[in-house]
Amino acid sequence: MKKPGEVFADASVYDPGIEAIVPRYDELHDAILNSPPHDRSEAIRVLELGTGTGELTAKLLTRFPESSVLAADHSEQMLVEAERKLETFGDRVELGQGAFPEDYPDQTDEFDLVVSSLAVHHLDEGEKKALFDAIYDCLNPGGWFINGDVVQFDAPHLEALSGDMIENWVRSKGWEEADFMDEWEASDDYDNPSTLTDQLVWLRESEFEAVTSIWQYYNFAVYGGQKPE
């Protein structure tokens, strides 16, 4: 049985599958990677929530060559793929299995940066608020949280427009969306996106500063905030 975040029944097809169903997937990752204020030479400690197959993790470790990353995901099969992909980085990366906000962040650890990609939208409103509080608590002063995720529009016509955009994107990859979902055994049963506006408000309620939206393409957005120094 798939868990939230296991978009595809077979984790080994996640990478090509997600690029075929998430428009500008690499651009979303670039926005996350370009947002932290840290220099490349800094030995920063990073927590990644919902690491999946480790695609963003590998990019983080490459972008910040002195960094170390705790990469957490609740899916064992995703972590198997991530372990294979991240083997070359050695002890700079630690994989952890568990859910968030229940298991991660662990408040006994402290981080300079927390990132997530296409994972937080599986949480309901209360869980998102609890997660933002927990992330704030685990960050060192001056640390940042950056999230790239699916967001919801309040306006029904914009939700419909986003749906059409995704259908066209999938079609540009040579698929009809229904055929794609069937062939790849994909699922969006656990999707529970919130509006970008709400999430920016919740970050402020968790006492983050410099809360901002950094990048957006239809219903995909990168946003975040800083813990005061």
Is 80 exceeded by the pLDDT of residue 145?
yes
Question: pLDDT (tens digit, 9 = 90+) per residue, 83-123?
Answer: 999 999 999 999 999 999 999 999 889 999 999 999 999 99
What is the pTM (predicted TM-score) of this model? 0.92
Question: pLDDT (tens digit, 9 = 90+) per residue, 2-16?
Answer: 444 556 555 566 777
10 Å Cβ neighbour count for 30? 16
Question: pLDDT (tens digit, 9 = 90+) per residue, 188-226?
Answer: 667 899 999 999 999 999 999 999 999 999 999 999 999
Question: pLDDT (tens digit, 9 = 90+) per residue, 146-188?
Answer: 999 999 999 999 999 999 999 999 899 888 878 777 766 666 6
Residues 119-122: contacts with CB under 8 Å, at least 24 apart: 119/5, 119/49, 119/50, 119/52, 119/149, 120/49, 120/50, 120/147, 120/149, 121/149, 121/150, 121/151, 121/191, 121/192, 121/193, 121/194, 122/4, 122/5, 122/190, 122/191, 122/192
Helix boundaries (H) for the chain: 14-21, 25-34, 55-63, 76-86, 125-138, 156-172, 177-183, 196-205
The CA-CA-CA angle for residues 71, 207, 147, to 5°, reads 35
CATH architecture entry for 11-226: 3-Layer(aba) Sandwich (3.40)
Contact 40, 64 (CB under 8 A): yes
Report the pLDDT value the prediction gives residue 3, as an integer from 0 to 100.
45
For residue 224, which phi and psi values (nearest 5 degrees)?
Answer: 175, -170
One DSSP character per residue, 71-107 reads EEES-HHHHHHHHHHHGGGGGGEEEEE--TTTTSS-T
Which of these ranges, 66-70, 137-141, 176-180, has the smallest mean pLDDT? 176-180
Report the pLDDT value the prediction gives residue 187, as an integer from 0 to 100.
63
State mean pLDDT over 135-152. 98
Question: pLDDT (tens digit, 9 = 90+) per residue, 3-51?
Answer: 445 565 555 667 777 888 899 999 999 999 999 999 999 999 999 999 9
Contact 65, 40 (CB under 8 A): yes
